[in-house]
Chain A
Amino acid sequence: DAGITQSPRHKVTETGTPVTLRCHQTENHRYMYWYRQDPGHGLRLIHYSYGVKDTDKGEVSDGYSVSRSKTEDFLLTLESATSSQTSVYFCAISGTSGGEGFFGPGTRLTVL
């Protein structure tokens, strides 16, 4: 987890509220990713960024948005949280396109 932090680490929220998760890196890596991990589904890509202000969708992007205004920060926003978004969210970084990814410690989100 060195060089990557996620905040908050745990969050409980109510259905319909907006939630923002933050990923911060000190490695100056170009690529940043947001995944969710659920039993039986493994790691699924939500959104990723290939540079400041450059983002693209992953396979499960509905209901999520991202922003990257600085190299070191990548924000994931759940615009109106639903119970189906209860999950563990991991941020990952990579110095090369599709290269080795290094993961943050994760955020456990519960939507009631």
Chain B
Amino acid sequence: QKEVEQNSGPLSVPEGAIASLNCTYSDRVSQSFFWYRQYSGKSPELIMSIYSNGDKEDGRFTAQLNKASQYVSLLIRDSQPSDSATYLCAVNSNTDKLIFGTGTRLQVFP
């Protein structure tokens, strides 16, 4: 079983819609959770971090964490074509390392 799982997609949403990206993790002691955006041919870019249960909002992005159910999600409101990218979920379980999911490809069409 993979430690961090994401649906590979592609997830296709129309411009202006809400995109919902999900991630599940296997280690119950995980404490830190991150979302990265990666455009094709570029390096991953940190867009959100979340450490406690609930929602965290930053502009059009909302990260949601539910430790009891072991999932973390990223909502993108008012999706734009420029949001089209691969979104990587990363989890830390009280070690020096982050474990990454394989990413979900998001396509926002006009």
Contact = CB atoms under 8 A, between A and B. Distances in A.
Interface string B70-110: 00000000000000000010101111111011110000000
Chain B: interface secondary structure? loop
B92 A99 contact: yes
The size bracket of the interface on A is: 20 to 34
Nearest to B49: A100
B100 A43 contact: yes
Contacts of A104: 43
B17 interface: no
Contacts of B100: 35, 42-44
Contacts, number: 54
Interface string B26-70: 000001101000000011111001000000000000000000000
B88 A105 contact: no
Contacts of A105: 42-43
A45 B97 contact: yes
Contacts of A56: 96
Contacts of A33: 97-98
A43 B43 contact: no
Contact of A42 (B34, B93, B102): B102
Nearest to B30: A98
Contacts of B45: 103
Contacts of B43: 1, 90, 103-106
Interface string A1-22: 1000000000000000000000
Contacts of B88: 42-43
Given A98-B93, A105-B42, 9 more contacts: A42-B100, A43-B44, A43-B88, A43-B100, A45-B98, A48-B96, A98-B31, A99-B92, A101-B98
Interface of B: 31-32, 34, 42-46, 49, 88, 90, 92-98, 100-103
